[in-house]
Amino acid sequence: MKIALMDSGIGLLPAAAVLRALRPDVDLVLSQDPDGMPWGPRTTEGIIEHALAVARAAAEQKPDALVVACNTATVHALEAIRAELEPDIPVIGTVPAIKPAAAGGGSVAIWATPATTGSAYQRGLIRDFASGADVAEIPCPGLADAVEYARPEQITEIVAAAAAQTPAGTRALVLGCTHYELVAAEIAAALADSCPGLELFGSARAVVEQALRRARPLRETGEGSLTVLRSGREESLPAEALVYPEGRALLA
């Protein structure tokens, strides 16, 4: 089985690492867009253009499923990607884990990029799945970029600022950007005093499980190979990816 994951950068690592842990035999294709990132500040048309290019590069590897491991691309380009690739290649989007986070009621915080925070997309998810919870939307400007380029001082500064905006006693925290899952430990530590017992909710495992359910294996199980595409070019994982355990696990 071969499964592809796509993102502008290394935000796909959490899902890729979960997939490798669950199914070490699966061949992985990681399709990124270093030449066109970041996608967030682009227009919807620009995001669709770049996301389609990355999806097409992944599709050339003939995967049995494609995971859009990016919240921004899911919001703006999922429909276009599915229109082009399905039904030949099942396409799975990434949705912030608001539903499971809100299931226990109480106070919920959602950390996301400024573009996603307060958006009609996120507000719709809150309305549909968290109407019974007390929800705080926390923008984290610059955090995805700091994680992408492995800048620890910036990560610490931005996480501290977001933690200061998170209501004390918050029960559940939604990591509304795939990059944030790479620094989940730092986020949890920053909130340990003000939000004891806080539970973090990411999307990686749920997305991977959905991909495995929908994948259409057209070949025998392989040996767990790894192919990295960077703006369509076959390259190695960038050095920044190897700063994180999820990146190193893919090479183990």
Q: Is residue 208 predicted with pLDDT exceeding 60?
A: yes
At 44 the pLDDT is 86
Q: Whole-angstrom Cα distance, residue 106 to residue 174? A: 13
Task: Say what the pLDDT of residue 18 is.
Answer: 97
pLDDT at 70: 93
| Overall average pLDDT of the 90-114 stretch | 94
The yes-or-no answer on residue 177 being catalytic is yes
Strand partners, 5: 30, 67
16 in Cβ contact with 250 (< 8 Å) = yes
Q: Given this model, what pLDDT does residue 72 score?
A: 87
Question: What would the mean pLDDT of 6-17 be, rounded to a whole number?
Answer: 97
pLDDT, residue 172, reads 98
Q: Where are the domains of the chain?
A: 2-94+204-251, 98-201
With cut-offs at 50, 70 and 90, classify the pLDDT of residue 207.
very high
pLDDT at residue 40 greater than cutoff 80: no
Whether 120 shows a pLDDT value over 90: the answer reads: no
Domains 2-94+204-251 and 98-201 share a fold: yes
Long-range contacts of 43-49 (CB under 8 A, 24+ apart): 44/76, 47/72, 47/73, 47/76, 47/77, 48/76, 48/77, 48/80
- Phi, psi (degrees; rounded to nearest 5) at 123: -60, -35
Residue 219, pLDDT score = 57
**Cis before 245 (ω within 30):** no
Pull the structure tokens for residue 176.
């509304």
Please name every residue paired with 181 in a beta bridge, in sequence order, or none if there are none. Answer: none
In which element (H, E) is residue 213 found? helix 204-214
The mean pLDDT value of the chain amounts to 94
Catalytic-role residue among 3, 70, 89, 198: 70
70 is catalytic: yes
User: pLDDT tens digits, residue range 220-247?
Assistant: 556 789 999 999 999 999 999 999 999 9
pLDDT for residue 117: 86
DSSP-derived secondary structure letter, 130: -
Structure tokens at 8: 């502008």
Select which of 130, 177, 182, 206 is catalytic.
177
- Tell me, what's the pLDDT at 222? 62
Q: Could you read off the pLDDT of 59-75 as tens digits, one per residue?
A: 999 999 999 999 889 98
Judge contact between 19 and 208, C-beta under 8 A: yes
Topology of domain 2-94+204-251, per CATH? Answer: Rossmann fold (3.40.50)
pLDDT digits (tens, 9 = 90+) for 127-158: 999 988 899 999 999 999 999 999 999 999 99
Query: Mean per-residue pLDDT for 210-215?
Result: 94
The pLDDT of residue 116 is 83
Task: Say which residue, 190 or 40, is predicted with more confidence.
Answer: 190
Q: Binning pLDDT at 50, 70 and 90, where does residue 39 land?
A: confident
Residue 242: predicted pLDDT: 97
With bands split at pLDDT 50, 70 and 90, how would you rate the model's confidence at 53?
very high
CATH of region 98-201, choose from 3.30.230.10, 3.40.50.1860, 3.40.50.720, 3.90.79.10: 3.40.50.1860
Burial 140-179 (b: 16+ CB within 10 A, else e): bebbbbbbbebbeeebeebbebbbeebeeebbbbbbbbbb
C-alpha span between 69 and 46 (Å, rounded): 18
